[in-house]
Amino acid sequence: MTSSASPAPPDAGAAHTGRRVLINTGALTSASLWRIAISFVLQILIARQLGLEGLGHYTIAMAYLNVSQVIVELGLPTLLVRDLAQAPTHRRTYFRWSLGIQLVTSLLTWGGLILLSFALPFAPVTAASLWLVGASLPLYAVTATAETLFQAGERMELVMGVEVVINTLILLFSLGVLWLGGDELVLIAVIIATQAISAAVCLLLLARSRLLAAPQEATPVALRPLLRRTLPFFGLALSDVLLQRLDILLLGFIAGPAVTGIYSAAYNVVRVLMKMIQSFWRALYPTLSRLQRHAVDRYARLQALSLRFGLLAVLPAAAISFGVAPDLMRLLFGGDYGAAAAVYRILIWAAPLFLVEVYAITLLMIEHHLRASLWVSALHIASIVIFVPLLTPVAGANGAALAVVIGGVVGSGVSVGLLHSQGIPLQAVGIGKMVVAALVAGAIALLLPAPWLVNCLLAAGVYGAISLMTGVLTLDDFRTLRRILLTSRAE
């Protein structure tokens, strides 16, 4: 198709890409941070109002909710974000199909949860929570379908707007419930009400965004081939949620709500960092998908530099927070949370491993090596299934944390090996120097007798100085990033 408009200046496409990368990464990271912050505040309030067992019950219910939501999606969002980013004229057709499919799967999943509540020997609170969790799923189907189009159109600020508003309402409604003496079941009912609001807001934003506006093509869709194409993405999405929630589900059976509550206190702090990592790569996914098809050189440079900056941020965050873990837990939860601090010191090392693993999985998906991506997740999950039951009876919550780290070692190691086997080498220059600098910073945070906040600042300064002196971080890195995003495209 031709246009009579004047051609854009040479750097217009690159400048647009740069702005989109920054907006998308910032929006999804901000939305994820806000969602995790809200969740974490609720964890603290629930622990203080309902006790560790109450926290355990609520965490287990949220784990079932997260797994059920992935089943409802059936892998469609990830597939359609990739495909509709490259073929925007098919949005209207696939919106209708995706919404219809996810409404059907939501009702089937709700029925499955009801059957599960009768089939397994759950406590009454857990059984009732499954019914309530299922009631939110048809509403979630509407939200998930609309947000798929927001992401495919690289409009992550719309996702951020929905997430911020809805999670703020969850916090406010939950505060009211706790103030009035409500229990875990009433808190779960809050999820249903806010999910209804989320669905309505998403439909309104979708209409106002004009993402479904002309030109659109009425492309034919065959249901069976479409579902066949979603299967690898569904496997990856299910694997992803199991990687984040399987430990909670297993602890609910093996150790009970009290140990689950202690583990959750530490895990929800680590989860903030992991969700930032996940949002970072999720935000880059549509842009990298587009560049891989249309600008291969810039695709290679952007993904390499993204991994480099990710490691430069995550490694010191893990090491420094390891050093000040008891003070961090005391600040967040109050009182004596020594047990949670010990769990945190083990669990935090899963974060840098997770960064490498998600990087590898993202590239394997973009390069259409979905089977390899599934192998990474499958082996990681298998490690958790094996080691959590083995180590938890021996060392309690600490054993569960160690099992999760072992799973991270397996997942990241396998993912790097698969990248090399597919001819996509790991792009991380100076990773050994980064690790040494992070360990030095962690030792400073742990050993200095100054107040812990001062230790954090000093450790961060030392990490930056070592990185600059060893050449791990240079001013050229920032210039290179700016040049990739904002300078003219060769093509």
Per-residue confidence (pLDDT) for residue 17, from 0 to 100: 53
Per-residue confidence (pLDDT) for residue 482, from 0 to 100: 62
Per-residue confidence (pLDDT) for residue 428, from 0 to 100: 64
Per-residue confidence (pLDDT) for residue 149, from 0 to 100: 87
pTM: predicted TM-score of the whole model, two decimal places: 0.73
Give me the percent of the chain exceeding a pLDDT of 90.
Answer: 24
Per-residue confidence (pLDDT) for residue 13, from 0 to 100: 47
The closest of 388, 390, 59, 357 to 247, measured between CA atoms, is: 388
CA distance 141 to 471: 48
Maximum CA extent, the chain = 72
Per-residue confidence (pLDDT) for residue 299, from 0 to 100: 74
Give the SS3 label for residue 245.
helix
Q: Which residue in this structure is represented by tokens 């059957």? A: 115
The closest of 360, 355, 352 to 376, measured between CA atoms, is: 360
Per-residue pLDDT tens over the stretch 374-418: 788 889 999 999 999 999 988 888 999 999 999 999 999 998 888
DSSP 154-179: T-HHHHHHHHHHHHHHHHHHHHHHHH
Cα Rg for the chain, rounded, in angstroms?
23
Per-residue pLDDT tens over the stretch 94-127: 888 889 999 999 999 999 999 988 887 777 887 8
Residue 5 carries which DSSP code?
S
Phi then psi for 255, rounded to 5 degrees?
-115, -20
The closest of 230, 281, 299 to 78, measured between CA atoms, is: 230
Helix/strand/coil (H, E, C) string of 56-83? HHHHHHHHHHHHHHHHHHCCHHHHHHHH
pLDDT block averages, 10 residues each, the chain of length 491:
43 51 64 78 80 76 90 88 77 86 95 87 80 93 90 79 89 91 88 94 87 75 83 81 85 76 83 81 75 72 79 90 88 71 92 90 80 84 93 90 94 87 71 85 88 88 84 69 48 38
Q: Which pairs from 429-436 meet CB under 8 Å and 24+ separation?
A: 429/308, 430/470, 430/471, 430/472, 431/311, 433/466, 433/467, 433/470, 433/471, 433/472, 434/311, 434/312, 434/315, 434/467, 434/472, 435/315, 436/466
Per-residue pLDDT tens over the stretch 239-268: 778 888 888 888 877 876 778 778 888 887
Per-residue confidence (pLDDT) for residue 490, from 0 to 100: 37
Phi then psi for 3, rounded to 5 degrees?
-140, 145
Q: Which amino acid is at 475?
A: L
Per-residue confidence (pLDDT) for residue 89, from 0 to 100: 79
CA atoms within 13 Å, Cβ hemisphere of 446? 14
